[in-house]
Chain A
Amino acid sequence: MDRGPGTASGGSFISISENEQRCYSGLSTLCQADSSGKLAASKVGELFRASQLPAETLHQITDVCGAKRLGYFGSGQFYVALKLLAAAQAGLPVSLESIKEELPLPRFADMKDDRDPRYPSRSQSSDTPSHQSAAASESVPRAPMDRGAVRHQGSISERKEPWSPPPSPCRSPPDSPLSYHSYAYSTPRNGADAHLGQTPGVSVWAQDTSSPLHYGAKPPMEHTSSRHSAERPVDHGIVDYPDDPWRITPEQREYYTNQFRSVQPDLGALILGSVARNFFTKSKLPIPELSHIWELSDMDRDGALTLAEFCTAFHLIVARKNGYPLPESLPPSLLPSFAEKDAAPPKLVSEDMFFETSGAPQQTDLVLAERTEPLISFEEPDPGPSLQEKSESEHKALLSEMITPKQDLAEELPQSAFSPKRAPVTTDQEKPPERFHRAPEQDPPHEPEPHVRSRARPRSYSSTSIEEAMKKAEQPPTPPPRPQKSHSRASSLDLNRLFQQGTHGLKSGYLPHPPALPPRPTATQIPHVPPSTEQSSQKAVRQPDFADFDRFREEPPQEMGLLQPPQKPLRRKYHPESQARDPAQTFGSPAHPPGGNRPPQKLSSGQKKDVQLAIRKNKETNAVLMRLNSELQQQLKAVHQERIHLENQLEILRPAAM
């Protein structure tokens, strides 16, 4: 099947041995010859690069074989080029003359070609397991061992784990990641050959092949590999140049989606960390590797996997099982840039994980508010007067319901120096539960919350010190009760606010109000944002933040002006509002304190503080009312006196009149 005419680029007839014929035809299939016989230039380019000849040699080859002239690689050109590659690798000059002789096959990175002893520079340590190529810089990729050697990317050297899917040297494993060797050729081997588990691993892999199969990651692999294996029956080592080893093909994605469905029927929901752990442990990869894979794939750091993250993780596991080294960072093609629907209610039982991280189920809006600086949360109340009313009514409605979730929260959020934030946090914490109860259709909006929550989680820590500093700054100018109030939880916040309306004489303007309010409005607004912006988990996480900031940015000037003096202006602002609300709320408020007072009896110290605050406020309210009472009494007495006086006068005058 010597394609003579095609080969006669230089007018001469180049003979091709059978071996070469086979090799070349395999290679050309590799290069995806299309119907007209042209070969994909990119593939050819990769192939040439794999031969590790200098670029200028490659150019020469391209010229000589006639592809340059023609503008494409026909099969003939390709064959000539391959022969030229062989020649160049043998050290012969690139010309048609040199290829007239019998030449060894061209060697490509990762190609296992044991028919060619004659390979000078390239072949030295070929089959000595590559882990000895501590002379890292020269990447002498040799076929099967390569796979193992390739791994180094330095990263895994730190992990001393045994490499469970070591290279399978001479076998072409059914799921041939040989196709993935292309990944290897470009990566020079650093001496990071701590993975000396290779040799013993080889046998392990033999057994492992069945298990990966069982694990089921193979079908897509088999599909791709068999395509190539068929073409090169003898030469297993021929490099395959897929587009990108890290890209998930559609059939792979479908497979992963099915697997996801087997774990979690709802594709939009999350797989919990523990569930995912059990699932991925079945792959028999060592735990540190799985840990690393998790780190790479859980992009929003919420301890759970969305469909996209799951696919990424699965793909990494599959690649790893096929012998690919784990990347240090997520390859671009695995980034969740594809649109995955993310709308599902957070099945985060992994709340416990949050709690372990020092009780930071920080709520979206809250943390968003505090992302740049915690003071933003205080800004928010400004547009809030109307919202305040609304939220007040919500408050009252929620008060009774809040008691139970509050207690849970109290137990779950043990200590926190984030107390200023926690007040709003708990407020929000309660609101979502309420929403869940009342409006199940609102679930999708909450789904982003865990993402944002997790993403926002770091921010909470970052604000801690600022919060503390702020609190301390406030202490001098403000009356003593304030700092404790800032620790108070939502319930007491509500009570505080309600009480404050009753105590209009108070100038202290309890700070907790500002934090309490912003979450509510933002919480309502946030649901609008995520559905439109939810794309990838990462973006989804970011965008609500940004959306919120836009809102904040809209009212910066006034807010900032308010913020500078520590809370005093805000206090004054609340002042009139509280006064306005006084008459209406005064009678309403006393009703609530009793309700609020009863539950706290058995609660923790935080709640006790709240209770004490509530009690104090009650007392103040009482004092005011009593004062009022006494004044009115006096007025009544005065009026009474006058009446008596007038009656007397009347009596005196009546006889006179009569």
Chain B
Amino acid sequence: MAVCIAVVAKENYPLYIRSVPSENELKFHYTVHTSLDVVEEKVSAVGKVLVDQRELYLGLLYPTEDYKVYGYVTNSKVKFVIVVESSNTSLRDNEIRSMFRKLHNSFTDVMCNPFYNPGDLIQSKAFDSVVSSMMVQAC
């Protein structure tokens, strides 16, 4: 269950960002922003070898005391970032992977919509619902 989910475009501006509203959202925005650096680093490291081998799921980008940040990059350099609470130890790697998979799937569906121009903010309800299902249910 994520605390914050963000989709960042290739040019590193956010296409979609949603956090649990109860917390300080600015903190999450900042976290996502700083995580982009880590993403770039991971991407460029593997890139020296053949690009084919670069995996989409980047894994844990970096942990802080309060939460952990996971990253995922698509082939078109769109990045998904998920922030989860550190206290949430039950969340396994596979679950994070499946969350990214779902995100990727619905992102693809958004892309397929001819009325969506790549680079626009994502306003799809279907995408919203997928994201909501993955967020911590805010009380």
Residues of A at under 8 Å CB distance from B?
155, 158-159, 272-274, 276-277, 287-288, 290-292, 294-295, 298, 301-303, 328, 350, 353, 356-360, 414-417, 419, 454, 457-458, 461-462, 464-465, 468, 487, 605-606, 609
Contact = CB atoms under 8 A, between A and B. Distances in A.
A317 B100 CA distance: 33
Given A301-B109, A458-B105, A461-B105, 11 more contacts: A291-B115, A292-B124, A298-B112, A359-B75, A417-B54, A458-B108, A462-B105, A464-B55, A465-B55, A465-B97, A609-B50
Contact of B76 (A273, A295, A358): A358
A652 B29 CA distance: 102
Contacts of A487: 50, 52-53
A468 B53 CA distance: 9
Nearest to B118: A356
A464 B111 CA distance: 20
Contact of B111 (A287, A292, A357): A357
A188 to B, nearest CB: 20
A360 B76 CA distance: 12
Interface of B: 50-57, 74-76, 94, 97-98, 101, 104-105, 108-109, 111-116, 118, 123-126, 128
Contacts of A158: 123, 125, 128
A292 B116 CA distance: 10
Which residue, A155, A416, A461, has most C-beta atoms of chain B within 10 A?
Answer: A461
14 contacts: A272-B114, A292-B125, A294-B115, A303-B112, A357-B74, A357-B111, A358-B76, A415-B52, A417-B53, A417-B54, A458-B104, A458-B108, A609-B50, A609-B52
A354 to B, nearest CB: 9
A487 B51 CA distance: 11
Contact of A155 (B74, B114, B125): B125
A487 B52 CA distance: 7
A415 B51 CA distance: 6
A158 B127 CA distance: 13
B33 to A, nearest CB: 24
Contacts of A155: 125
B75 A295 contact: no
Contacts of B115: 277, 287-288, 290-291, 294
Instruction: Kindly list the 5 A-B residue pairs having the minimum CB-CB distance in the complex, ordered from nearest.
Output: A273-B114, A358-B75, A277-B114, A415-B51, A291-B115
B52 to A, nearest CB: 5
A353 B111 CA distance: 8
Contacts of A288: 115, 123
B119 to A, nearest CB: 12
B114 A295 contact: no
B57 A358 contact: no
Contact of A273 (B74, B105, B108, B112): B112
A301 B127 CA distance: 13
A450 to B, nearest CB: 11
B75 A291 contact: no
A415 B57 CA distance: 14
A323 B104 CA distance: 34
Contacts of A609: 50, 52
Contacts of B109: 295, 301
A157 to B, nearest CB: 11
Nearest to B98: A462
Contact of A414 (B55, B57, B75, B128): B75
A457 B108 CA distance: 9
Nearest to A326: B125
A419 B53 CA distance: 8
Given A155-B125, A295-B126, A458-B105, A464 B76 contact: no
A36 B108 CA distance: 57
Which residue, A155, A291, A464, A606, has most C-beta atoms of chain B within 10 A?
Answer: A291
A500 B115 CA distance: 49
Given A301-B109, A415-B52, A274 B114 contact: yes
Contacts of B118: 356
Nearest to A472: B55
A458 B108 CA distance: 8
Contact of A419 (B52, B74, B94, B98): B52
A606 to B, nearest CB: 6
B58 to A, nearest CB: 11
B52 A464 contact: no
B123 A416 contact: no
Contacts of A461: 56, 101, 104-105, 108
Contacts of B98: 462
A290 B116 CA distance: 10
A350 B112 CA distance: 9
Contact of B74 (A159, A294, A358, A606): A358
A465 B57 contact: yes
Contacts of A465: 55, 57, 94, 97, 101
A487 B55 CA distance: 13
B8 to A, nearest CB: 16
A288 B53 CA distance: 37
A417 B58 CA distance: 12
A316 to B, nearest CB: 13
A291 B115 CA distance: 5
Contacts of A294: 113-115
